[in-house]
């Protein structure tokens, strides 16, 4: 999908520091620079705007935004732990056999350590939270995840991380099957903390690379 290619290229250019905060992102210039059409580039800019890496400024258009600080990222993950644990607990009360089967299917796919591991991870949580029937809180969680997604996907997931996440999702499944709310809250929170570990390692690597936005 060309829009995804455009998104990844633009994301990497911004994260690498090649385009610093405040730099205008002109579609015609990006089309020549990336060798990708205007349509996919516009779609990529919309996605980057949602993630917080790009912002639309009146009379200037799309510009590179200042990325979230490490302090802000930690706070985002803490808020996620609180909301997502409660969404999972509420979802458990509404789960059907069909929900469990879908979660088991997604977990089984994650065990193969596929290239789309992160997408499967997101789908697992989305499927679970949808059962809570609390759409406004789900939307808040979606926005929080978008704001830190770059730091979870910039580098390929390491095998040890994939194994750890898969085990944590297995524990979430077991807590759901056992209708053990306390264990469920603990395991969901633990899984989100693991994501924070990945994000912090990504920031450390960006600092070591000399990226001026992550001094």
Which residues does 73 contact at the CB level (< 8 Å), separation at least 6? 148, 151, 196, 199, 200, 203
Domain with residues 70-208, CATH architecture: Up-down Bundle (1.20)
Are 48 and 14 a contacting pair, CB within 8 Å?
yes
Please tell me the predicted confidence (pLDDT) of residue 103: 97
Question: What ranges make up the beta strands (E) of 21-165?
Answer: 54-57, 61-64
Please tell me the predicted confidence (pLDDT) of residue 114: 67
Question: 2-64 and 70-208: same fold?
Answer: no
Measured between alpha carbons, how far is 152 from 118 in angstroms, rounded to an integer?
8
Please tell me the predicted confidence (pLDDT) of residue 107: 95
Please tell me the predicted confidence (pLDDT) of residue 113: 65
| Domain boundary assignment for the chain | 2-64, 70-208
DSSP for 31-53? HHHHT--HHHHHHHHHHHHHHTS
Query: What Å distances lie between residue 106 and 13, 55, 120, 157, 173, CA to CA?
Result: 32, 34, 6, 17, 11
Domain with residues 2-64, CATH architecture: Orthogonal Bundle (1.10)
pTM value?
0.81
SS3 175: helix
pLDDT in tens, the chain (215 residues): 788 888 888 888 887 778 888 889 998 999 999 899 999 999 989 888 887 788 888 888 889 888 788 899 999 999 999 999 999 999 999 999 999 999 999 999 998 866 688 889 999 999 999 999 999 999 999 989 988 888 887 776 788 888 999 999 999 999 999 999 999 999 999 999 999 999 999 888 877 776 666 66
Please tell me the predicted confidence (pLDDT) of residue 59: 80
Total Cβ atoms within 10 A of residue 58: 5
Please tell me the predicted confidence (pLDDT) of residue 105: 95
């Amino acid at each position: 999908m060309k829009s995804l290619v455009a998104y990844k290229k633009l994301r990497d250019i911004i994260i690498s520091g090649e385009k610093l905060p405040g730099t205008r992102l002109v579609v015609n210039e990006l089309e020549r620079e990336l060798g990708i059409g205007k349509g996919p580039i516009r779609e990529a800019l919309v996605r980057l705007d949602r993630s917080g890496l790009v912002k639309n400024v009146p009379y200037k258009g799309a510009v590179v935004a200042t990325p979230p600080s490490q302090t802000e990222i930690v706070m985002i993950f803490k808020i996620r732990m609180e909301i997502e644990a409660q969404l999972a607990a509420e979802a458990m009360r509404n789960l059907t056999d069909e929900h469990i089967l879908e979660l088991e299917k997604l977990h089984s796919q994650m065990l193969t350590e596929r290239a789309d591991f992160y997408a499967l991870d997101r789908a697992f949580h989305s499927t679970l939270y949808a059962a809570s029937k609390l759409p406004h809180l789900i939307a808040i969680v979606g926005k929080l995840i978008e704001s830190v997604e770059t730091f979870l996907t910039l580098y390929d997931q390491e095998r040890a991380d994939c194994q750890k996440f898969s085990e944590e999702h297995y524990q979430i499944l077991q807590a759901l099957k056992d209708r053990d709310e306390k264990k469920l809250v603990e395991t969901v929170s633990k899984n989100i903390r693991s994501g924070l570990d990945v994000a912090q390692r990504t920031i450390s690597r960006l600092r070591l690379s000399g990226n001026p936005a992550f001094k």
